[in-house]
Structure 1
Amino acid sequence: MVADAEVDPVSKSPRPPAKSRGGTDTRIMRAALEILRVHGPHRVTVEAVAALSGVAKTTIYRRYANREEILDAALDSQSVTPCVPDGLCVYDRMKWTLEQVRRALASDMGLGSVGAALTDEDPDFTESFREIINARSDVVAGVLRAAVDAGAVRSDLDIDTAVSMLVGSYLGAYLRHGEVSESWADGVVHAMCPELEPEAPER
Structure 2
Amino acid sequence: MTAQRRRAPGRPRNTEADRAVLSAALDLIAEAGVEGVSIDQAAKRAGVARTTVYRRYATRDDLAVAALVANEAAVLVSFQVPDQPSLADLVTTWSAGLSAPRSRVLLRRMMSVPREHPKLWAAFRAASAGSRDLSVHDLVIRARDEGQLAADADVEMVQAMLTGAVAVHLTNYPDDVSAEEVAEYFWRVLRTLGFRVATTGRL
TM-score (norm 1): 0.69
AA of the residue aligned to 1:113 = M
C-alpha contact (below 8 Å) 1:47/1:57 kept by paired residues: yes
Q: Deviation of residue 140 (structure 1)?
A: 1.5
The farther-off stretch of 147-156 and 127-136 is 127-136
Aligned pairs for 1:130-141 (under 5 A) are 132=128, 134-141=130-137
Q: Out of 92-101 and 29-38, give the one that drifted further.
A: 92-101
Give the corresponding residue for 2:6: none
Query: Which residue does 1:192 correspond to in 2?
Result: 190
Residue 108 of structure 2 is aligned to residue 111 of structure 1: yes
Q: Which amino acid aligns with 2:173?
A: H
Give CA deviations for 1:132-183 in whole Å, capped at 9, x if unaligned. 5943122122122112111122111111111111111121122223437323
- Cα distance, 1:26 vs. partner? 1.0
Match of 1:35 among 28, 33, 36: 28
Q: Report deviation, 1:102.
A: 5.0
Per the alignment, residue 122 of structure 2 pairs with 127
- Alignment deviations for residues 55-74 of structure 1 (CA, whole Å, 9 cap, x no partner): 12233233333323322422
Aligned match of 2:51 in 51, 55, 58? Answer: 58
Using the TM superposition, give the Cα deviation of residue 124 of structure 1 relative to its aligned residue in structure 2, in angstroms. 0.5
How far apart, in 2, do the equivalents of 1:72 and 1:143 lie? 26
Say whether the 8 Å CA contact 1:38–1:111 is kept in structure 2.
no
Gaps of 5+ in 1: 1-14
Greater alpha carbon shift after TM alignment, 53-62 vs 142-151: 53-62
Please tell me whether the aligned partners of residues 35 and 43 of structure 1 are also in contact (alpha carbons under 8 angstroms). Answer: yes
Q: CA deviation at 1:188?
A: 1.7
Offset at 1:110?
Answer: 2.9
Identity of aligned residues (%): 23
Contact 1:144 1:159 in 2 (8 A): yes
Partner-residue secondary structure (3-state), 1:196: coil
Q: For the residues of structure 1 that align with 2:168 and 2:20, how far apart are their CA atoms? A: 33
Measured after TM superposition, the shift of residue 87 of structure 1 is 10
TM-score scaled to structure 2, two decimals?
0.69
Query: Is the CA contact (8 Å cut-off) linking 1:84 and 1:96 kept in structure 2?
Result: no
Please state if 1:143 is matched with 2:139: yes
8 Å contact from structure 2 (residues 61, 120) kept in 1: no
Q: How many residues of Structure 1 are paired with residues of Structure 2 in the alignment? A: 181
Shift of 1:198: 7.9
For 2:160, the equivalent position in structure 1 comes to 164
Aligned residue type for 1:110? L
Q: 1:30 Cα shift?
A: 0.9
Q: Output the amino acid matched with 1:126.
A: W
Of structures 1 and 2, the larger Rg is shown by 1
